[in-house]
Amino acid sequence: MFQQILALIIILFFISRIVWQKKKKQINNNEFIFWLTFWIIAGVAILSLKYIDKIVGFLGFSGTGIDILFYIAVVILVYLVFKIRIRQARIEKNITEIVRNISLKNKE
């Protein structure tokens, strides 16, 4: 019970952060909707742990619901890191293109 309350407090903190960032126009609409949905789903999952336990048991997993949520979170994080790495590589490529154009233009 205590862990659930703690998790909900953390989720509320993150929701307040994204609302604040949206107000300050630091994130766009799409990002706001994505992260708000993400944290609401996380909050609902925390509140529905008993049901998740049942579903997990029904599916034949040996761990509890919170374990499965944790595994899913790790998978999502790995995917997000990969996406960010690809995006970073694209930005690097664009920077190289800009640097190259400047060096060639300066020679003309």
Partner 1 sequence: MNLHDYNVNIFCVIPSYNEEDHIVEVIKDVKKITKNIIVVDDSSTDNTYSLAKSQKVTVLRHIINRGQGASLQTGNEYAYSNNADIVVHFDADGQFKAEEIKDIIKPIINNKADIVFGSRFLEKKSKIPKLKKIIILPLAKLINKIFFGINLTDPQNGFRAINRKALETIKIENDGAAHCNEILIKSFKNNLRIKEVPVSVIYNHFGQNILNGKGRGAGGIKIIKDLIIGRFIN
- CB 74 to partner 1: min, Å: 21
Q: Binding to partner 1 (CB under 8 A): which residues in 39-98?
A: 85-86, 89-90, 92-93, 95-96
Residue nearer to partner 1 on the CB measure, 71 or 79: 79
Task: Give Cβ neighbours of residue 49 (< 8 Å, ≥ 6 apart).
Answer: 4, 65, 66
Two structure tokens written together for 94? 């664009």
Residue nearer to partner 1 on the CB measure, 59 or 104: 104
Question: Residue 75: is it exposed, middle or buried by C-beta count within 10 angstroms (0-12/13-18/19+)?
Answer: exposed
Binding residue for partner 1, selected from 33, 44, 81, 102, defined by CB under 8 A: 102
Polymer length in residues for the chain:
108
CB 46 within 8 A of CB 7: yes
* Residues found near partner 1 in the complex (CB under 8 A): 85-86, 89-90, 92-93, 95-96, 99-100, 102-104, 106-107
